[in-house]
Amino acid sequence: MSYQFPDNFLWGGAIAANQVEGAYLTDGKGLSTSDLQPHGVLAEAVERHDGDSGIKDVAIDFYHRYPEDIALFAEMGFKCLRTSIAWTRIFPQGDEETPNEAGLAFYDRLFDEMSKYNIQPLVTLSHYEMPYGLVKKHGGWGNRRTIEFFERYARTVFQRYQHKVKYWLTFNEINMSLHAPFTGVGLPSDSSRQDIYQAIHHQLVASAKAVSACHEIIPDAKIGNMLLGGILYPLSCKPADVIETQQQNRDWLFFGDVQVRGYYPSYMNRFFKQRGITLHITDDDRQALKHTVDFISFSYYMSGCVTTDEELNQKARANILNMVPNPHLESSEWGWQIDPQGLRYLLNVLYDRYQKPLFIVENGLGAKDKIDSDGSINDDYRIKYLNDHLVQVGEAIEDGVEVLGYTCWGPIDLVSASKAEMSKRYGFIYVDRDDAGNGTLERKKKKSFYWYQSVIGSNGQTLK
């Protein structure tokens, strides 16, 4: 069967500033929370001292090599590139009155380079990082004043790039704060649920204020939210498992409900009450939340299962999201369960729930690549993973779901988020750098490069 992707479908790839740019203190950039996480977003943050270094300090040196990388993306036929702005390049400490011109100028150069090839930028305002200055001095998102600092930053970049960027996202995987509070909201990992949900509330308000500012400053732009699409299935058809699954899916759908509907869903009243959480929500907050997103974007890598069986749950505590493995699925080398049909299911769940356009802004396979003796990299496993997921996107489009585009994660190898590894590679383009930071940073096309080029060139007709 061949699939009918819309003519203006935004094919492309997704990267994030802290995982590609490097140049972590160049041109006036301040330290970000990510710069304090040399071992990844799930590890404890560490204070930096003179002489300390981390793999992300250089990353893949996109800050200096972006013209070469954009040219390669263009060669694959990209219509869109999702990237993020490092907030600390614009406001190095986060609470300055005026922005850092050198940081603003960098993104001008980057967007101009993309425009040469008609590649639409899709820009995330905050992808797993914020100014460390805001954490140290103001307590991160725990402090309501961070809303104001974020709004100033958002307005600054909307103003500056209003003619260059027409697709925006607010916070990357906003629901991830529940699992990684320092990464998401700048709070210590042992923070109470009360403090984390209050910080999340501030972030939801800030997200809505950014939506409003974007609509005011760039009326022809579209701005979306960004969710970790962590869809869960009941492990069995036992009604108790089904109810528990519904509850656990609401843990993350809650974020979308607020950002798309403009108010807290009623099921959260019971949730907060049972956990002794009381949020401070002002009238102004309630007004702000009414500014809802134009589309919903999400990442999708895997699905998981839910059970009420305590023994199985104990075993599952070891993995990233405490998900119980699905006995019907295979896993990647990193233990992420591969479930292409889950993507079709998730697209339908979100579209049924919100009836707003969807954008898949991350999906991909992290794997160890091997360079063959003739210099080639034959990443058939990656081609299979992506093909199978895109087929399911085609199915969802047939189902009637409105999908704006697909930007697969890491079209060029980059530093992984969870453990800051280079060896977990997602790219169509290989980067010569290892986990210890050795390598020339040279770029090389993998077999999947030509495969994706043909998928985009045929608007999905070569998928099978």
Residues that are catalytic: 362
Binding mask 69-98 for ligand BG6 (x = CB under 6 A): ------------------------------
Which member of 35, 69, 173, 257 binds ligand BG6 (CB under 6 A)? 173
Nearest to 227 by CA among 264, 262, 253: 253
Binding mask 97-136 for ligand BG6 (x = CB under 6 A): -------------------------------x--------
Residue 362 touches ligand BG6, criterion: CB under 6 A: yes
Residue 409 touches ligand BG6, criterion: CB under 6 A: yes
Residue 418 touches ligand BG6, criterion: CB under 6 A: yes
For 131, half-sphere exposure in the C-beta direction (CA atoms, 13 angstrom radius) is 22
Q: Which residues pair with 306 in a beta bridge?
A: 234
Nearest to 169 by CA among 70, 291, 264, 295: 295
Q: Shortest Cβ distance from residue 362 to ligand BG6 (Å)?
A: 6
Q: Would you say 189 or 236 has its CB closer to ligand BG6?
A: 189
Q: How many CB atoms lie within 10 A of CB 370?
A: 9
SS3 letters for 12-50? Answer: EEECCHHHHCCCCCHHHCCCEHHHHCCCCCCCCCCCCCC
Q: CA-to-CA distance for 298 and 224, rounded, in angstroms?
A: 10
Q: Shortest Cβ distance from residue 16 to ligand BG6 (Å)?
A: 5
Q: Would you say 218 or 358 has its CB closer to ligand BG6?
A: 358
Tell me the two tokens of residue 231: 């869809």
Residue 142 touches ligand BG6, criterion: CB under 6 A: no
Q: Would you say 156 or 416 has its CB closer to ligand BG6?
A: 416
Q: Shortest Cβ distance from residue 389 to ligand BG6 (Å)?
A: 14
Number of residues that bind ligand BG6 (CB under 6 A): 14
Nearest to 110 by CA among 15, 175, 24, 42: 15
Tell me the two tokens of residue 40: 């990844």
Which member of 201, 424, 425, 446 binds ligand BG6 (CB under 6 A)? 424
Q: Would you say 289 or 422 has its CB closer to ligand BG6?
A: 422
Phi, psi of 383 (to 5 degrees): -60, -45
Nearest to 344 by CA among 384, 397, 402, 304: 397
- Chain residues binding ligand BG6 by CB under 6 A are 16, 19, 128, 172-173, 228, 299, 362, 366, 409, 416-418, 424
